Structure 1
Amino acid sequence: MTRHGKNCTAGAVYSYHERKKDTAASGYGTQRVRVGRDAIKDFDCCCLSLQPCRDPVVTPEGFLYEREAIVTFLLQQKNKIARETKAWQRQREQRRREREQQRGEGAAKALRGFLEAETPLGKGETPGNGSGGPSPSGPLPSFWIPSLTPEAAAERLQRPAAAERLQRPERSVRCPMSGRKLRLSQLVSVHFTPAQPGLSPGQLLAREPSDRYVCALTGDPLGNATPCAVLRPSGAVVTLASVDRLIRKDMRDPLSGAALTDDDIIVLQRGGTGFAGAGVSLEAKKSRPVMQA
């Protein structure tokens, strides 16, 4: 256990800082750490690659992606679903064949029981034997039924155990961030307004995030501390303050002139500043074993 103070070890107060330090050193208990600014994604970065977007698109929930990254993700998920669906169909066909085989074996077993009950084997003669010799002990094997032959019994004993039953895969692809169903047609192209026109994409991305883009209506700088929204008809990025002050009165896109609905105003998800969160959790949590009395 650590000391209670720098020059005092006889204090009766066990501070919160000392308790957290001892917990971290002991290896037990749940650890919680608040992430810093370096662990937060910028507002104009892709949620998959975590890099500034060159061709950004946004989902209806407001998550920003690089077009190439999200299209590749959707294609990979569709191929995975197709493979899992084929495997599920093969397993279902195999289980159907096994059920049919079991029904056939049950019918053959019932037929065998009927023949054994109706054949007078206990009267001293065997079917097809005119010598009148004694009948053998126990029932005779039915060699004329394929499922009751000795070879079939050996095959059943050597059959491997059934594989784990697969669940039917979901047909829809889901967004990697929100977990909701996502189609390629739902992606909306985003057009950021550069703070300084005429810069190349490389020069623009080399600048600080707060110096890259501005609001398409008011010219205010955009950043993680500024709530933003994307207008679906034009794809322009504006601040929520300008939406409430200028757009919601007429509900019309000032850049394209198209009529707007509430669903056409997509609030852009942002990471925050490190001091205040915006749509994401700023606390990292790790569960470890707990000592109990």
Structure 2
Amino acid sequence: MTRHGKNCTAGAVYTYHEKKKDTAASGYGTQNIRLSRDAVKDFDCCCLSLQPCHDPVVTPDGYLYEREAILEYILHQKREIARQMKAYEKQRGARREEQKQLQRAAAQDQARGFLEKEAAISASPLSRPSGAVVTLECVEKLVRKDMVDPVNGEKLTERDIIVLQRGGTGFAGSGVKLQAEKSRPVMQA
């Protein structure tokens, strides 16, 4: 005796008729159906409306159409294209507006960052009491003598006096101890 599995469709007891019935019920597999006369359009029917033609038009390939059905189809397509164009323009406008809002938000963020950096910068002057800039000669002759601010008369400490440095480029240096040298080849013995 042979062993039987849980699915006994593999054996000879599963008939052709049962297979056809299961195939039709499940919707899988190859299915052949003979088309009846109702499924085939008549010779004088339009390929779009499947109704008999009153004002027929024939294509070079031999397809028969009703002129009114073609015009209705063209008008329908124009309306559909116009509807789609409106939707596209609306979507495009929304996208443009979204881009503008993003740009505005970025500009506001940039401005906010700038203002935060500006607020972080110390507003108090570097020369502590008044912020006045005087020459080094004036500091040596007048200010260091009494340690009083010449602008507002407040008492100064040594820490309040800041000596400004001379700026310059890398080429010119600071300009304080500027000396030009010219190098020439030297003969060696």
TM-score normalised per structure 2:
0.51
Deviating beyond 4 angstroms after TM superposition, the runs of 4 or more aligned structure 1 residues are 121-124
How far 1:121 sits from its partner (Å)? 7.5
Query: How far is 1:37 from its partner?
Result: 2.4
Alpha-carbon distance in structure 2 between the residues aligned to 1:61 and 1:118:
78
Aligned to 2:41, the other structure's residue is in SS state coil
Aligned to 1:23: 23
2:55 paired residue number: 55
Residue in 2 that maps onto 1:89: 89
| Corresponding residue for residue 115 of structure 2 | 115
Task: Indicate if the aligned counterparts of 1:57 and 1:65 stay in contact, CA closer than 8 A.
Answer: yes
Structure with higher helix content = 2
Question: What does residue 70 of structure 2 align with?
Answer: 70
Structure-1 separation of matches of 2:88 and 2:20: 49
The gaps in structure 2 that reach 5 residues or longer are 1-10, 125-189
Q: In 2, are the aligned partners of 1:56 and 1:67 still within 8 Å (CA)? A: yes
Structure 1 residue identity aligned to 2:102: Q
Partner of 1:237: none
Displacement of 1:100 in angstroms is: 1.3
Q: What is the distance in 2 between the residues matched to 1:35 and 1:122? A: 91
CA 1:56 to 1:116, structure 2 compared with 1: closer, same or farther past 3 Å? same
RMSD between aligned residues: 2.7
* Identity score, percent: 58
Structure 1 distance, partners of 2:59, 2:110, is: 62
1:290 is matched with none
How far is 1:111 from its partner?
1.2
- Tell whether the 8 Å contact from 1:24 to 1:31 is kept in structure 2 after alignment: no
Counterpart residue type for residue 115 of structure 2? L
Identify if the C-alpha distance between structure 1 residues 102 and 79 changes in structure 2 by more than 3 Å, giving closer, same or farther.
same
2-structure distance, mates of 1:89, 1:98:
14
CA distance in 1, matches of 2:102, 2:59: 51
Q: Could you state the TM-score of these two structures normalised by the residue count of structure 1? A: 0.34
Output the amino acid matched with 1:112: R
Distance 1:22 1:62, change over 3 A: same
The alignment of Structure 1 onto Structure 2 pairs a total of residues equal to 113
- Larger RCO: Structure 1 or Structure 2 (Cα < 8 Å, ≥ 6 residues apart)? 1
The one-letter code sitting in structure 2 at the alignment partner of 1:58 is: V
Secondary structure in structure 1 of the residue aligned to 2:57: strand
Structure 1: give runs of 5+ residues left out of the alignment: 1-10, 125-293
* Partners of 1:48 and 1:65 within 8 A in 2: yes
Code of the residue aligned with 1:29 in structure 2: it is Y
Mapped partners of 2:27, 2:45: distance in 1? 36
Q: Which has the higher strand share?
A: 1
| Mapped partners of 1:18, 1:98: distance in 2 | 62
Decide whether aligned partners of structure 1 residues 34 and 121 sit closer, same or farther in structure 2, where only a CA change above 3 A counts: farther
CA offset at residue 43 of structure 1? Answer: 2.4
Q: Which amino acid is the alignment partner of residue 112 of structure 2?
A: R
Find the counterpart in structure 1 of residue 103 from structure 2. Answer: 103
